[in-house]
Amino acid sequence: MTAATATGRLAARAWRNSARVDAQLGACVGRHSLGSGAERDARRSGAPVGARHSAHAARRFSTARRGTMADRGDSTKLTAEDLNRNAVEMEYSVRGKIVQLAEEHQAALSRGEKRPFDEVILCNVGNPQAVGQAPLTYLRQVLALCTYPALLDEPSLAHCFPEDVVAEAKSILDNSKGVGAYTTSKGIPLVRQRVAKFLEERDGYPADPESILLTNGASDGVKAILTLMTRGPKDGIMIPIPQYPLYSAASVLLDGAMLGYYLNEDQAWSLEVEELRRVVTSAKEKGVLPRVLCVISPGNPTGNLLTVQNMQDIVSFCEEQNLLLMADEVYQENIYDSTKEFVSFKKVVRDMNSDVPMVSFHSTSKGVMGECGLRGGYMELVNLDDSVAAQVYKLQSVSLCANVPGQIATNIMVNRPKPGSPSYELWEKEYNSTFQSLARKADKLAKGLNAIPGVSCSDQLFAMYAFPKIQLPPKAIQVAEKEGMAADAFYCMNLLQETGICVVPGSGFLQVPGTFHFRTTILPPEDKMDSVIAKLRDFHMGFCEKYA
């Protein structure tokens, strides 16, 4: 068996279900005919199918047709057919089949097995410290003392830490029961007060600590709000296309109607209100009520940044359509152009004196801290009725509280060393060094990708990603179809198998039908960035020549 044949067979096994992506996309935006197998089942069964991410009604029909364990006469064996169909159908491409194969390659290399490459370079997820980014000293010192407070009782050890670190750890411990105890469901009051102060200084408007809930990263907050807003399959969740797969996964799991709106790639992935209006009109014609508008800025996976005028138009649209605005702002520090600045949706809402309900999200995982594993974050409720806020609190309380080390990391994110303090100089040195490195890598990656024939992406990248468009030969598209794969998934699988570079196909984020992309992070170490770009270029040229 040739290497190419083995790769094709492996790709086919890994991506049997990729072919339905474009059909799902067409269904969710109401622009294309229904084409997935589940949707055909729905038409044959007479089950209702609306503007949905996937045909939930058809899945329920086919599940009933298969029957339960007892119906099959097997009372002991549990299979996927016996599970929640929404959970089974849910997909999260950032940790999908290609990534699983990359992890297998890593394990094989660690055992001394041979591969066409010496290492796997994970460019699939924004996980900075996994690819070499160093943590910030001040945060880890405070965490060390909070995690093992006995150090504070040993003068010889406590003196190893700067005075402001010791003071900060004592402040947190005095206002909590330590990292091993539950906090209030909203989070440590002191930390929420400091988040409120951070928001006031950022936006110039008051923030209420009681409207702030500390969360496990931003994801738990996003899932909580979508859970409350999705009452059933006729409730629409408007999400950008391309989108971060958390949103599509949640809409499927919650049995809601995913309403995808296209960002305009030709205009630096701008969000156009007329596109929002088209999606709303199409959804209502199908009996779906749009309830939530999700916006990611700076963007993931596109690396775009919305203008203030664009944001004002979005707020006005939400007022007009009675939509809850969900503002995913976890990349607010990742703006590498000194002529641009981050403006929050809350500031825009307040500047407009708008009463549009909104929830904003932030996280310790991104920005410059890159503390993904600590799972720190918060959400702020703005213009929400007290009865709605009470339900958010109730849902949060089911999990008791966010993890406490993550709450401490959130505290440091919003309450950094002050000028003149013992830790300030080192913080500034480490923070600026990391930020400047991210900026250089973003610039180098954008230029490098745009220099590859048949590859194009935004000249200016924000956040931590590039989402380049790739021109694929017709023969490659045909081969991918025969293998049961999306064409860009076929491309990315081959990229991994030949170079060890792991990226995510654009089909996992959804995209305009007929276009192909992949998402890559800007996070590989600087001393490897030139090599990554060169490998991408060589692979792309060879791939296009092979399938010419």
In 10 A of CB 435, how many CB atoms? 16
Q: What would the pLDDT profile of 179-193 be if each residue is shown by its tens digit?
A: 899 999 999 999 999
Cross-strand partners of 504: 519
Tokens (6 digits) for 247: 């949103």
The model carries a pTM of: 0.81
Indicate whether 369 pLDDT > 70: yes
The type of residue at 67 is G
Q: How far is CA 36 from the centre of its chain?
A: 26
**Mean pLDDT within 518-546:** 92
**Mean pLDDT within 103-131:** 89
Q: Which helix (H) or strand (E) holds 258?
A: strand 257-262
Residue 384: what pLDDT?
94
- Is there a contact between 392 and 224 (Cβ–Cβ < 8 Å)? yes
Q: What would the pLDDT profile of 271-299 be if each residue is shown by its tens digit?
A: 999 999 999 999 999 999 999 999 999 98
Domain with CATH 3.40.640.10 in the chain: 189-332+341-414
DSSP states along 44-103: HHT----S-SS-HHHHHHHHHHH--TTTTT-SS---GGGS-HHHHH---GGGSHHHHHHH
Q: What would the pLDDT profile of 403-427 be if each residue is shown by its tens digit?
A: 999 999 999 999 999 999 999 999 9
Indicate whether 195 pLDDT > 80: yes
Indicate whether 34 pLDDT > 80: no
Q: Which CATH number fits domain 189-332+341-414: 3.10.310.30, 2.40.160.10, 3.40.640.10, 3.60.15.10?
A: 3.40.640.10
Indicate whether 471 pLDDT > 50: yes
**Mean pLDDT within 196-211:** 96
The type of residue at 508 is G
Q: Is 247 exposed, middle or buried (0-12, 13-18, 19+ CB in 10 A)?
A: buried
Share of the chain above pLDDT 70, in %: 86
Residue 69: what pLDDT?
55
Indicate whether 168 pLDDT > 50: yes
Residue 235 Cα distances to 255, 323, 477, angstroms: 9, 11, 35
Residue 159: what pLDDT?
80
What's the CA gap between 406 and 95, in Å, rounded? 22
Indicate whether 165 pLDDT > 80: yes
Q: What would the pLDDT profile of 330-346 be if each residue is shown by its tens digit?
A: 999 999 988 899 999 99
Q: What would the pLDDT profile of 59-113 be if each residue is shown by its tens digit?
A: 443 444 455 555 556 667 888 888 888 788 777 665 678 888 899 999 999 999 9
- Is there a contact between 82 and 68 (Cβ–Cβ < 8 Å)? yes
Residue 481 Cα distances to 11, 471, 474, angstroms: 11, 16, 11
Domain with CATH 3.90.1150.10 in the chain: 93-132+442-546
Q: Per mean pLDDT, which range of 68-72, 311-315, 439-443 is the poorest?
A: 68-72
**Domain spanning 93-132+442-546, CATH class:** alpha beta
- Is there a contact between 98 and 505 (Cβ–Cβ < 8 Å)? yes
What's the CA gap between 439 and 445, in Å, rounded? 10
Tokens (6 digits) for 419: 């000028």
Whole-number mean pLDDT of the chain?
A: 84
